[in-house]
């Protein structure tokens, strides 16, 4: 169990860091202030600041985020009536605002906040020492920081460094960079898998192994046969062939294959097998293996592309094959599959990581509000309209998307708990 937990944390941590670093890097390059780069969710464990960004490690290893400056920034830590402590520089400008009771500022000036503007004019008004006879306005430095209630020190967010102030193409690139990094990670990991395991799947439809007493063997298929079509529809790659077989459990499938110079068509009925709560069809065949160095290195690209096709077919099957929660998986399903991967060794864990990375990249590109794909869709709408949606409309869309995702995640999680630990 400890090995599974450690593997889960490492794999999930790498995926989150790589994904969020894509957003982080291009936000920085676009002049957008990244206030916080967080690994994990919930209460903080560690935190430090560098180059105007706070880096935090949080307790729950179930995600992470890049917190960029923007119009939707939460300012609950600084509200009228709040007692704060202000630290000034030699020019009498505020350089630090302490809104937390967990820290003390050396030589800080206690002020009861009346009004503030940390976006445009950069000032704080209030009563020094909470004395109604000492009402003052303090001007705030552009690069000042604020210590929030939980003790995290972050940069204030003047308008010129807001996400919304960046150009349209820059904002789109920031949103796309997270999924892009997941695809790049998958390429690297699949290439490493190819080097470690010594052989990789050949990119053709030739059978490598036909299992004894399998459906395929009983139907007359042999190693070296090239599959040309299934149900008289041409197949061009192993992924589409496997997808068709797996989705045809217990149903007759016409298999057209080539052996030498002859082409024949036979009928098979894929055997029903239950995997992770889903019933799939298997006929007992596997792909050919290539052992040359070039193929093993290129597996970074060929393996990633094959995984993209596989996941795309699975997404399409959600709608064409009937929707069921068993076709989805959340953190519980990932943990359960991590346990199985950890038992099978390093190569299995790396393959699982590459699968999750591609999956994370594709899912985040779906045009659902609150996901990166939803943000890109809003960018497209803005490009067509040649003006931004109103802040109210955009917030409504994002909130609706977030609520939908949370409800779906809850449903998936409860279903995963049932099928992996109760059923």
Query: What is the per-residue pLDDT across 352-410, written as a single tens digit (0 to 9) for each?
Result: 899 989 988 998 998 888 889 988 998 998 899 888 877 777 778 778 877 877 787 77
Question: Comparing C-alpha atoms, which of 322, 229, 324 is closest to residue 268?
Answer: 229
Q: Is residue 214 located within the same domain as residue 138?
A: no
CA pair distance 55, 45, nearest whole angstrom: 11
Whether residue 225 is contained in a domain is answered as yes
CA pair distance 405, 373, nearest whole angstrom: 13
Strands (E), 183-232: 200-201, 207-210, 226-230
Which single residue is written with the structure tokens 């009402």?
Answer: 135
Whether residue 87 is contained in a domain is answered as yes
Q: Is residue 147 located within the same domain as residue 209?
A: no
Whether residue 37 is contained in a domain is answered as no
Q: Where residue 416 falls among pLDDT bands split at 50, 70, 90?
A: low
Q: Read off the CATH number of the domain in which 259 is found.
A: 2.30.42.10
Please say if 20 is a catalytic residue: yes
Domain residues for 142?
83-156
Whether residue 300 is contained in a domain is answered as no
Q: Is residue 214 located within the same domain as residue 275?
A: yes
Q: Does pLDDT of 190 surpass 70? A: yes
Between strands 271-275 and 278-282, the pairing is: antiparallel
Whether residue 138 is contained in a domain is answered as yes
- pLDDT score recorded for residue 74: 55
**Structural domain ending residue among the three candidates 138, 156, 174:** 156
- pLDDT score recorded for residue 327: 63
Mean pLDDT value across residues 335-357: 83
Q: Does pLDDT of 258 surpass 60? A: yes
**Structural domain ending residue among the three candidates 269, 287, 305:** 287
Whether residue 385 is contained in a domain is answered as no
CA pair distance 336, 128, nearest whole angstrom: 57
Whether residue 244 is contained in a domain is answered as yes
Q: Among 20, 148, 153, 394, which one carries the catalytic annotation?
A: 20
Q: Does pLDDT of 1 surpass 90? A: no
Return the HEC string of 129-172: CCCCCCEEEEEEEEEEEEECCCCCEEECCCHHHCHHHCCHHHHH
**Structural domain ending residue among the three candidates 287, 315, 339:** 287
- pLDDT score recorded for residue 138: 94
Mean pLDDT value across residues 86-109: 87
Burial letters 12-28, b for 16+ CB under 10 A, else e: beebbebbbbbbbebbb
Q: How many domains does the chain have?
A: 2
Which single residue is written with the structure tokens 């109210």?
Answer: 392
Q: Who's near 348: CB < 8 A, 6+ residues apart?
A: 340, 341, 342
Whether residue 211 is contained in a domain is answered as yes
């Amino acid at each position: 169990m400890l090995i599974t937990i450690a593997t889960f944390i490492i794999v999930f941590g790498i995926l989150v860091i790589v994904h969020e670093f894509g957003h982080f890097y291009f936000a920085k390059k676009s002049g957008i202030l990244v206030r916080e780069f967080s690994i994990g969710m919930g209460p903080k464990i560690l935190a430090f600041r560098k180059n105007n960004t706070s880096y935090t490690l949080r307790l729950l290893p179930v995600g992470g985020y890049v917190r960029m400056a923007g119009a939707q920034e939460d300012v609950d830590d600084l509200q009228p009536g709040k007692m704060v402590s202000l630290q000034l520089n030699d020019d009498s400008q505020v350089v630090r605002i302490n809104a937390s009771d967990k820290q003390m500022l050396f030589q800080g000036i206690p002020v009861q906040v009346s009004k503030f503007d940390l976006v445009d004019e950069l000032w704080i008004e209030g009563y020094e020492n909470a004395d109604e006879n000492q009402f003052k306005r303090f001007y705030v430095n552009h690069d000042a920081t604020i210590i929030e209630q939980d003790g995290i020190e972050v940069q204030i967010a003047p308008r010129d460094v807001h996400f919304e102030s960046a150009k349209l193409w820059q904002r789109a690139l920031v949103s796309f960079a997270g999924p892009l990094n997941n695809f790049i990670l998958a390429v690297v990991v699949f290439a490493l898998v190819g080097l470690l395991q010594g052989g990789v799947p050949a990119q053709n439809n030739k059978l490598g192994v036909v299992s004894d007493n399998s459906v395929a063997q009983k139907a007359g298929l042999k190693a070296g046969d090239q599959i040309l079509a299934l149900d008289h529809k041409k197949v061009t790659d192993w992924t589409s062939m496997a997808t068709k077989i797996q989705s045809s459990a217990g149903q007759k499938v016409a298999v057209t294959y080539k052996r030498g110079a002859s082409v024949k068509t036979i009928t098979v009925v894929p055997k029903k097998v239950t995997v992770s709560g889903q019933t799939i069809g298997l006929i007992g065949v596997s792909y050919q293996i290539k052992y040359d160095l070039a193929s093993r290195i290129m597996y970074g690209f060929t393996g990633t592309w094959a995984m993209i096709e596989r996941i795309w077919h699975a997404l399409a099957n959600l709608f064409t094959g009937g929707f069921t929660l068993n076709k989805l998986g959340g953190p519980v399903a990932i943990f359960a599959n991590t346990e199985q991967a950890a038992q099978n060794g390093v190569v299995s864990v790396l393959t699982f990581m590459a699968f999750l990375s591609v999956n994370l990249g594709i899912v985040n590109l779906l045009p659902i509000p609150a996901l990166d794909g939803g943000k890109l869709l809003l960018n497209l709408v803005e490009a067509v309209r040649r003006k931004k949606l109103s802040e109210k409309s955009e917030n409504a869309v994002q909130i609706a998307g977030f609520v939908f995702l949370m409800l779906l995640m809850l449903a998936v999680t409860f279903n995963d708990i049932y099928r992996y630990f109760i059923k």
